[in-house]
A and B are shown apart, each in its own frame.
Chain A
Amino acid sequence: EAQVTQNPRYLITVTGKKLTVTCSQNMNHEYMSWYRQDPGLGLRQIYYSMNVEVTDKGDVPEGYKVSRKEKRNFPLILESPSPNQTSLYFCASSLGGASSYNSPLHFGNGTRLTVT
């Protein structure tokens, strides 16, 4: 089954403790992206990647890192989490980019992160 898999689904951590949220897709998609979803703010892009070893900042990259060492994986790293990073995070992938007419974004199931 074609899918984007995120882990974990739920994560509670403390300020400053490094964490990684994994994202993997099995559709051989070139494009992968991370979004955070907050009430009243919609989905905001954190980082995206057009291909292996190619990453770029989205609209809210502060406090986050990413890597794209393999085509299928795009982990999101929080080196020193803070309470304002408490949010619902979605990984997404697409064959042809964020806005290809015939290649929609496929989202993972989301990771709900709480930083205390």
Chain B
Amino acid sequence: GENVEQHPSTLSVQEGDSAVIKCTYSDSASNYFPWYKQELGKRPQLIIDIRSNVGEKKDQRIAVTLNKTAKHFSLHITETQPEDSAVYFCAATVAGAQKLVFGQGTRLTINP
């Protein structure tokens, strides 16, 4: 079955700097890779996702890159702001499957 490893577990950056969170997956058949953001005391919410026929996807200050050969994908946040402080989860699965396997989470702290 799929296994997803996420690093780092905690990340602290200065406001305005960039943050990068990396995930690796084990199942070469996986082709759907979402990222969820969970603010303190709140529910996880989807912020961006990518399919394996796309190498990169951007949405304003966030972007996700995918390297299918190496089986890893990354979340990039530029010009970080205090509201970016949260726990971020990556996930991977085969599109259409009913199991979404999550990484362990990264607690991102933006320092003013």
Contacts and interface: CB of A to CB of B under 8 A. Distances in A.
B86 to A, nearest CB: 14
Contacts of B95: 99-101
Contacts of B44: 43, 90, 105, 107
B49 A105 contact: no
A44 interface: yes
A50 B98 contact: yes
B49 to A, nearest CB: 7
Nearest to A41: B104
A8 to B, nearest CB: 15
Given A31-B98, A109-B43, A42 B49 contact: no
B100 interface: yes
A108 interface: yes
Interface in B84-100: 89, 93-100
Nearest to B41: A110
A16 B9 CA distance: 34
B49 A101 contact: yes
B99 A42 contact: no
B40 to A, nearest CB: 12
Contact of A40 (B9, B34, B49, B99): B9
A56 B98 contact: yes
Contacts of B103: 42
Given A97-B98, A98-B100, A99-B97, A42 B105 contact: yes
Contacts of A105: 36, 44, 46, 100
B104 A98 contact: no
Interface of A: 31, 33, 35, 40-45, 48, 50, 56, 58-59, 90, 97-101, 104-105, 107-110
